[in-house]
């Protein structure tokens, strides 16, 4: 059973952000800043306990 799913998406400025979403649709965590690459956003999600 999946505890959450990670979503990586470009914001309005074209930079990358992430958010962790629980099965019931609530946001468990999200990036507080944007990143130049999707890889950087993925790394930051991992540093914040979401992998």
The C-alpha atoms of residue 3 and residue 5 are separated, in whole angstroms, by 7
Tell me which residue range forms the domain holding 18: 5-47
Total domains in the fold of the chain = 1
Checking if the pLDDT of 51 tops 90, the result is: no
pLDDT in tens, 5-46: 999 999 999 999 999 999 999 999 999 999 999 999 999 999
Looking at residue 37, which CATH number applies to its domain?
3.30.160.160
Checking if the pLDDT of 2 tops 90, the result is: no
């Amino acid at each position: 059973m999946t505890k959450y799913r990670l979503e990586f998406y470009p914001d309005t400025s074209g930079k990358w952000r992430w958010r962790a979403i629980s099965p019931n649709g609530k946001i468990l965590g999200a990036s507080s800043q944007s990143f130049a690459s999707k890889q950087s956003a993925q790394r930051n999600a991992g540093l914040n306990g979401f992998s």
